[in-house]
Amino acid sequence: MSKKYVFIDWNDTDPGYGIDKPGYQPQDASPYGVEIVAHMPLVDPIPMIVPDKPWEATRVGCYSTVIKVGDEYRMWYDGIGPGIKLCYATSKDGLKWEKPSLGIVEFEGSYDNNILFNNDVKNIVDEGWCVIYQENAPESERFKMVFTRVFYAEDGSHSVWIMGAVSEDGLHWSEIGKLFRGGDTQTSFAYDEKRKKYVIITKAQDPENIVRRTIIMVESDDFKSFSEPVYLLHGSPNDPPDTDYYTSAYHIWKDAENAHLLFPARFHRTADFTEVELLVSRDLSTWNKPSNGKVVIGPEQTFRKSNYADIGVIEDGNGNWIHVFSSYKRGHHDGGNGKEEGSGLYRLVFREDGYTSLHAKSHGCITTLPRPRAKGLKINADIGTAGYIKIAATDPVSNIAHDGFDFDDCTLEAIDCNSYEVRWKKPLSEIPEDIGYRFKIKMFRADLYSYTLDDYDDAIDENFRVPYVVG
């Protein structure tokens, strides 16, 4: 097993104390010269999926899910015009996609299409489907789905519910009914393996307290009974008063220790456009914006007014993580019945773990909290010209390097590598278990995206989980 640490806050960093105070150990654990920064992705201008079928006459919709099952990527996406349909596509590499003929739903007298659901029920509108795959679930429920259903009454009123469905193959679905009331647009859906919880994050509105649209979360142990909603995110005083949060695009950071991502779409009502930002969290409760106002996707990046991050990650085999986003030229409420220019599903290309990093523009240093016993250490880093990263394994209390594990015992070349094995004069496993260690990391002109402990022992003594400065 491995344990990967990423930099989304300072929770794993010893704050030190900063002054020489009687009764305390030497104060050289205090960090300096580093910051946590967000990295913007490459926005690919060439779409992967375009509306090239009659049942996608207006556009491919705002919402999609990508999952890898076996050696194949699968995509569930909206096709719009006329009506809203759930469509299906497959890919071997996550780049070139095919729309198979499924023979499931009739469209204009033919079953030769890739449609899974078609909105042809009076007074009901479905949209925003999101799918997960659980290999170890009962065979008939390996695929699970949530989606938004709007019920319209004869008097013009309506109610919105999040619905659930299960499937054996991801193509033929059985509804399990209403999960909870609320939601709108695409609902993010995931299973948190560490916490053994189904997580649903969706849009909501509380007119009595929060006029603007906001984002809520519910959880479940069994995909049947869900908790009361918790408000995660809504417009802050720093946001213009005419902004709402729409889609959330929630992701669990792959293999990372307690790291969660949101790519929410902010809708600007007056200007009628949407843009996407990045938020990060340790606990699904407190969310931070490491991008400091930078927009991940917006009109300046795409030259289109409607932009939404979708759900799922594609690994291209070249050290990149690809997120799908949907985009079209018209504004959110500037739609029509005609074909929408630029409509398609596009790629956002991040490096592996490349959402945020520990960045040192000049000389910098941090000391981590005590780490679990492990056999090795790997880092994902980009070291600039004449830059360096040096790592020492130190005593948890004195912060003095163990013998054979000082900075001079660690050799790291100037690299840009997603998985670089750190070596000292001795193997990491030789540090006595009853003593333990921290990592002291010195950097110059470098970005550290993550570090990973290989073959770790999670039974670390709790006495080593305290900060460096003790009284």
Taking only the tens place, the pLDDT of each residue in 429-457 is 999 888 899 999 999 999 999 999 998 76
Length of the chain: 471
Coil/strand/helix, residue 66: strand
Say how far apart CA 159 and CA 125 lie, in whole Å.
Answer: 11
Reported CATH class of domain 42-351:
mainly beta
- How would you class 358 by CB atoms within 10 Å of its CB: exposed for 0-12, middle for 13-18, buried for 19 or more? buried
Q: What pLDDT score does 291 carry?
A: 83
178, 111 contact by CB (below 8 A) = no
Task: Kindly give the confidence (pLDDT) of every residue in the chain, 471 residues in length, as a single tens digit, with 9 standing for 90 and above.
Answer: 889 999 999 999 998 876 665 555 546 788 999 999 999 999 999 999 999 999 998 899 889 999 999 999 999 999 998 789 999 999 999 999 999 999 999 999 999 999 999 876 778 889 999 999 999 999 999 999 999 999 988 888 888 999 999 999 999 999 999 999 888 788 999 999 999 999 999 998 765 666 788 899 999 999 999 999 998 887 777 788 888 898 999 999 999 999 999 999 999 999 999 999 999 999 999 999 998 778 999 999 999 999 999 999 999 999 999 999 999 998 877 755 567 888 999 999 999 999 999 999 999 999 999 998 899 999 999 998 889 999 999 998 888 999 999 999 987 777 788 999 999 999 999 998 888 999 999 999 999 999 999 987 665 444 444 443 433
Reported CATH class of domain 2-39+356-465:
mainly beta
- The first and second tokens of residue 315, run together, are 């690994």
| Cβ count near 140 (within 10 Å) | 11
- The first and second tokens of residue 228, run together, are 């009361």
How many CA atoms, within 13 angstroms, populate the side-chain half-sphere of residue 278? Answer: 24
Query: Residues 91-110: pLDDT tens digits?
Result: 999 999 999 999 999 999 99
H helices present in 149-254, as ranges: none
25's CB contacts (< 8 A; 6+ apart) are 397, 398, 399, 468, 469, 470
221's CB contacts (< 8 A; 6+ apart) are 196, 197, 198
Say how far apart CA 286 and CA 20 lie, in whole Å.
Answer: 33
| Cβ count near 229 (within 10 Å) | 20
Residue ranges per domain, the chain? Answer: 2-39+356-465, 42-351
- The first and second tokens of residue 162, run together, are 């999040």
Coil/strand/helix, residue 378: strand
Closest by Cα among 131, 129, 115, 136 to 73? 131
Query: Which amino acid, 447?
Result: D
Query: Which amino acid, 277?
Result: E
Say how far apart CA 303 and CA 70 lie, in whole Å.
Answer: 36
Say how far apart CA 168 and CA 172 lie, in whole Å.
Answer: 7
User: Which run of H or of E encompasses 300?
Assistant: helix 299-302
CA–CA–CA angle 58, 64, 67 (5° rounding): 145
pTM (2 d.p.):
0.92
User: Which run of H or of E encompasses 244?
Assistant: strand 243-245
